[in-house]
Structure 1
Amino acid sequence: MKNVLNISKKGILMVTMFATLLSFANEVSLFKIENDAERTSLTLTNVKQGNLLSIKNSNGVVLYKELIQQSGIYSKGFDLTVLPNGGYIFELDKDVEIQTIPFTVVSNTVTFKKELETTIFKPVTRVKGNMLFVSRLSLNKAPMEIAIYFTDYDNISSNQELIFSEKIKDTQSVNRIYKLTGINKGDYKVVFTTEERVFTTEINN
């Protein structure tokens, strides 16, 4: 079954397809934590060069970040007891997913909450000709907003114009195909908002 919606303003054709991304559904814990009174040893398995490891506070402020230099196994010790009392997360930003594990610091005591470890799958985009393919998996069926902006080469001001948007709810697996008929006349930007995060794809010519 498919639903077809024509957006005549910029000639976008949206086709909603129902499919699954079962290859993403096997969640395996990435974090191995060994915690003692003064030092936390963090081991990450199956990392890739260029992955980004961060420590953030409860407000999302980045306190530490490091680009992984070698693929394989990453291991490092951290003294987290020096952090002020509060909630924090270790975050590993990978190619198509973001994995987090929260911890708290109270009176120099560090406590990890392994049961609250989460995986956020990023929207995956692919462009073939004038067709834009979008896939995204959310095991907890988190809502996601999609907004498509267009910059017309013929427009002297070159302002980005919102030409299409939708909000997807209660869906575990999302697949979309957009036909970008103005691909030779300007640039597109696709903005995804989900789980308090924003992901952006630029389609330039």
Structure 2
Amino acid sequence: MKNVLNNTRKRFLMVTMFATLLSFANDAALFTIKDDAKKTSVTLSDVKAGNLLSIKDDNGMILYKELIQKTGTYTKGFDLTSLPDGSYFFELDKDVEITTIPFTVNDNTVDFQKEMESTMFKPVTRVKGEMVYISRLSLNKAPLEINVYFTSEDGAPVPELMHSETITNTENVSRIFRLSGLNKGDYKIVYKTEGKVFTEEISN
């Protein structure tokens, strides 16, 4: 069933619909780690040019980042033993997912926790005409906050919050928004989930 909420002020029509997402399993990153005394070799399968590989500490501070230059398989050696003792993680940011592998450094010894490798799927936004399709897959049913802002063409200094909701306890989420009416301007959709913020901007 579709629940229709009509905002006549801005002619912002939201149709809420739950559906099954297409599986992104075939797009998942495959990390292969090989350690020796001085260097860690990281191999990533099925990467694309423009994917972002980072090393971050336990507080999320970026210690290293690199844009993948070629589509296919990526291999590189890292000297992680020079890092201070502590907890870190590799992060591969792809089109629709972010994969992380945590590791620790202790007394010049690197230990990867492969069993703690995790993948989160980003909210996906597609625009077709006046219709905006939003989908998100979360195997752990993480909460997803959605905020939709509107800025009119007359250049209002503060974007107007048009819609806000937080979705909880849901693995597959799908939303459809229709942007229509006489009011023209820009829409910004801000997603918040699992400690990360994603933003999509749409001109209407």
Verify: 1:102 aligned to 2:105, yes or no: no
1:91–1:98 contact (8 Å) kept in structure 2? yes
CA distance 1:115–1:9, change in 2 (3 Å): farther
1:45–1:72 contact (8 Å) kept in structure 2? yes
Q: 2:179: which partner in 1?
A: 180
Q: 2:193: which partner in 1?
A: 194
Q: Which amino acid aligns with 2:195?
A: E
Q: 2:48: which partner in 1?
A: 48
3-state DSSP class of the match of 1:141?
coil
Q: Which amino acid aligns with 1:117?
A: E
2:147–2:189 contact (8 Å) kept in structure 1? yes
Give the drift of 1:80.
Answer: 0.3
Q: 2:57: which partner in 1?
A: 57
CA distance 1:182–1:86, change in 2 (3 Å): farther
3-state DSSP class of the match of 2:69?
coil
3-state DSSP class of the match of 1:187?
strand
CA distance 1:76–1:127, change in 2 (3 Å): same
Once residues 182 and 153 of structure 1 are traced to their aligned partners in structure 2, the CA distance between those partners, rounded to angstroms, is 13
Give the drift of 1:182.
Answer: 5.0
Once residues 183 and 94 of structure 1 are traced to their aligned partners in structure 2, the CA distance between those partners, rounded to angstroms, is 37
2:152–2:183 contact (8 Å) kept in structure 1? no
Q: 1:78: which partner in 2?
A: 78
Q: Which amino acid aligns with 1:171?
A: T
Structure 1 runs not aligned, ≥5 long: none
Once residues 180 and 36 of structure 2 are traced to their aligned partners in structure 1, the CA distance between those partners, rounded to angstroms, is 59
Q: Which amino acid aligns with 1:59?
A: N
1:130–1:183 contact (8 Å) kept in structure 2? no
2:146–2:189 contact (8 Å) kept in structure 1? yes
CA displacement, residues 98-155 of structure 1 (integer Å, 9 cap, x when unaligned): 111000111111110111111111111111111111011111100010000000113x
Give the drift of 1:16.
Answer: 1.9
Once residues 163 and 16 of structure 2 are traced to their aligned partners in structure 1, the CA distance between those partners, rounded to angstroms, is 14
Q: CA RMSD in A?
A: 1.7
Structure 2 runs not aligned, ≥5 long: none
3-state DSSP class of the match of 1:115?
helix
Verify: 1:170 aligned to 2:159, yes or no: no
Q: 1:161: which partner in 2?
A: 160
1:152–1:158 contact (8 Å) kept in structure 2? no
Once residues 199 and 107 of structure 2 are traced to their aligned partners in structure 1, the CA distance between those partners, rounded to angstroms, is 39
Q: 1:7: which partner in 2?
A: 7
Give the drift of 1:13.
Answer: 1.9
Q: 2:30: which partner in 1?
A: 30
CA distance 1:18–1:25, change in 2 (3 Å): farther
Q: Which amino acid aligns with 2:24?
A: F
3-state DSSP class of the match of 2:139?
coil
Q: Which amino acid aligns with 1:113?
A: Q
For normalisation by structure 2, the TM-score amounts to 0.94
Once residues 70 and 25 of structure 1 are traced to their aligned partners in structure 2, the CA distance between those partners, rounded to angstroms, is 21
